[in-house]
């Protein structure tokens, strides 16, 4: 065996283990794990560092068109560059079906945008906004067979909302073909009702984004989504859960033996509704959906991560520039929070925030950190064991982590296409110092290599057991 690269002297951490070993890499894959490996053209010194599976962020939006005139701040190049800065080696963005478009047209469009432009590997989820008989009967089953094994659906937003009947139909196709449906659980009519009411009262500042979609809106939709999944007899992933009541809906379903999975995100651990309460449009920098809540909601999200109610921790990176005609403040003379595009950036800050606030403060173990940021994403979305672990035969996708490095988060470090970070000024301990994908360094000490060797991954059905 002629190794290409040896990663020497680090502490290897997986979702289940922690041990000292060198990693021998050959042809982009892990060839051997052993002590005292020698003899390779490239030796990377990992002494004093943690060596973990590269991050997998299974919820990111890149180059996705918003409402007319609104442009996403990251394309595949800038988004995956920032992902590499944050220790990620795989991201799962969404391929959005516009109304009237076939799924095949949507996929062709997104794959063209991604091709040759990615620093890390990518695999697409589908967003279905137009579940025509053709989509449900022919396209979707064929695409699931091809490896597009996860589908996001929305219970709100004018351009995306599905009626309950349509949700049932999508869930049923997913059940029959073994795909997983990710649900954005917020109720359409309740949000419309409250938004109209707030506007009539002149409550239009970004802060009122929160009151337009209170906890009950999310809890009701979460309960309904779970009920619909139960009626069809299939699994769902409830994404971006923000609060205790929604978390408890999922926990109750799990306790009843249903295969309901949960995801939460950094914004629900470290931001609150108070962040949206700033002068002028400044609060729009924190407008995402569901909105950040209160400190008890943060505690509930931690509980969900600790107790296994949530199995994945994703960024929901969905960046819009602040100082930009086509971004957060593009209200075209319309000043209501209603027109602020929903979503915030976070692809680079996801792992450092969970590490510092979670592992650093004793809330989660190092193994749980790896499960939540990498392994469980690979298992749930059909990429395991090629991705998400450190094992012989797996892709050599690794992050070298300095668990003592102190960093004050500031936008300039993140190298994304946005013009701010909602986490500006937050101090973290623990930072990715090197990102290695398929055996080659993508990022070292904040410098991203020029080569864009990220590829589109084929996935299997998401059926591996997650813990």
Under rule CB under 6 A, residue 342 binds ligand URP: yes
382 binds, among ligand URP, Zn ion, none (CB under 5 to 8 A by kind): none
The CA dihedral of 383, 387, 389, 390, to the nearest 10 degrees, is 150
User: Is the Cβ of residue 260 or residue 288 nearer to ligand URP in the bound state?
Assistant: 288
Rounded CA separation 3/40 (Å): 5
Among 204, 222, 284, 289, binds ligand URP (CB under 6 A): 289
Under rule CB under 6 A, residue 318 binds ligand URP: yes
Under rule CB under 6 A, residue 316 binds ligand URP: yes
Rounded CA separation 187/163 (Å): 10
Rounded to 10 deg, the angle between the 215-232 and 244-255 helix axes is 20
Q: Is the dihedral of CA 84, 87, 89, 90 positive or negative?
A: negative
288 binds, among ligand URP, Zn ion, none (CB under 5 to 8 A by kind): ligand URP
Rounded CA separation 360/419 (Å): 28
**Nearest 5 degrees, angle CA 454-CA 459-CA 465?**
120
Which residue intervals of 126-163 are DSSP H helices? 133-134, 140-146
- For residue 387, the minimal CB distance to ligand URP (Å) is 22
- 174-203 residues in contact with Zn ion (CB under 5 A) are 177, 184
Under rule CB under 6 A, residue 283 binds ligand URP: no
Among 8, 113, 184, 213, binds ligand URP (CB under 6 A): 184
Contact assessment for residue 314 and residue 60, using Cβ atoms and an 8 Å cutoff: yes
- 4-63 residues in contact with ligand URP (CB under 6 A) are 61
User: Is the Cβ of residue 291 or residue 430 nearer to ligand URP in the bound state?
Assistant: 291
- Name which of 105, 111, 108 is nearest 76 in CA terms: 111
User: Is the Cβ of residue 130 or residue 316 nearer to Zn ion in the bound state?
Assistant: 316
Length reported for the chain: 467
User: Is the Cβ of residue 64 or residue 329 nearer to Zn ion in the bound state?
Assistant: 64
User: Is the Cβ of residue 61 or residue 380 nearer to ligand URP in the bound state?
Assistant: 61
Under rule CB under 5 A, residue 316 binds Zn ion: yes
177 binds, among ligand URP, Zn ion, none (CB under 5 to 8 A by kind): Zn ion
Among 288, 348, 372, 437, binds ligand URP (CB under 6 A): 288
Contact assessment for residue 30 and residue 287, using Cβ atoms and an 8 Å cutoff: no
Which residues make up the interface to ligand URP (CB under 6 A)?
Answer: 61, 184, 240, 288-289, 316, 318, 342-343
């Amino acid at each position: 065996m002629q190794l290409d690269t040896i990663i020497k002297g680090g502490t290897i951490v997986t979702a289940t283990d922690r041990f000292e070993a060198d990693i021998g890499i050959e042809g982009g894959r892990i060839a051997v794990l052993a002590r005292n490996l020698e003899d390779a053209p490239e030796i990377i010194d990992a002494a004093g560092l943690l060596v973990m599976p590269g991050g997998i962020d299974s919820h990111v939006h890149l180059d996705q068109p918003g409402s007319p005139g609104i442009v996403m701040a990251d394309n595949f190049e800038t988004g995956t560059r920032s992902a590499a800065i944050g220790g990620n080696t795989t991201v799962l963005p969404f391929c959005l079906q516009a109304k009237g478009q076939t799924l095949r047209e949507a996929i062709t469009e997104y794959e063209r945008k991604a091709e040759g432009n990615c620093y890390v590997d990518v695999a697409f989820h589908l967003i279905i906004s137009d579940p025509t008989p053709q989509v449900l009967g022919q396209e979707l089953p064929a695409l699931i067979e091809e490896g597009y094994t996860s589908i996001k659906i929305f219970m709100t937003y004018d351009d995306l909302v599905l009626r309950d009947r349509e949700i049932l139909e999508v869930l049923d196709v997913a059940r029959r073909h073994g795909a997983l449906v990710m649900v954005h659980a917020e109720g359409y009519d309740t949000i419309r009702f409250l938004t109209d009411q707030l506007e009539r009262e002149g409550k239009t500042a970004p802060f009122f984004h929160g009151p337009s979609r209170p906890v009950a809106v999310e809890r009701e939709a979460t309960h309904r989504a779970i009920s619909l999944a139960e009626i069809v007899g299939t699994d769902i992933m409830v994404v971006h859960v923000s609060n205790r009541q929604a978390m408890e809906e999922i926990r109750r379903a799990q306790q009843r033996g249903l295969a309901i999975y949960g995801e939460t995100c950094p914004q629900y651990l470290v931001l609150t509704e108070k962040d949206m309460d700033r002068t002028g449009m400044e609060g729009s920098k924190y407008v995402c959906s569901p909105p950040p809540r209160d400190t008890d909601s943060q505690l509930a999200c931690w509980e969900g991560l600790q107790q296994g109610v949530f199995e994945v921790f994703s960024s929901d990176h969905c960046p819009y520039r602040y100082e930009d005609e086509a971004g957060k403040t593009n209200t075209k003379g319309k000043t209501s929070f209603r027109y602020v595009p929903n979503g915030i950036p976070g692809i680079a800050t996801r792992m450092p925030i969970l590490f510092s606030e979670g592992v650093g403060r004793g809330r989660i173990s190092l193994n749980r950190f790896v499960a939540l940021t990498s392994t469980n994403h690979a298992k749930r979305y059909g990429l395991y064991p090629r991705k998400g672990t450190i094992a012989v035969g797996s892709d050599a996708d690794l992050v070298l982590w300095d668990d003592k490095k102190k960093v004050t988060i500031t936008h300039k470090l993140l190298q994304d296409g946005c013009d701010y970070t909602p986490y500006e000024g937050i101090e973290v301990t623990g930072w990715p110092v090197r990102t290695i994908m398929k055996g080659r360094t993508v990022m070292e000490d904040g410098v991203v290599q020029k080569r864009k060797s990220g590829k589109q991954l084929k996935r299997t059905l998401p059926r591996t057991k997650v813990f």
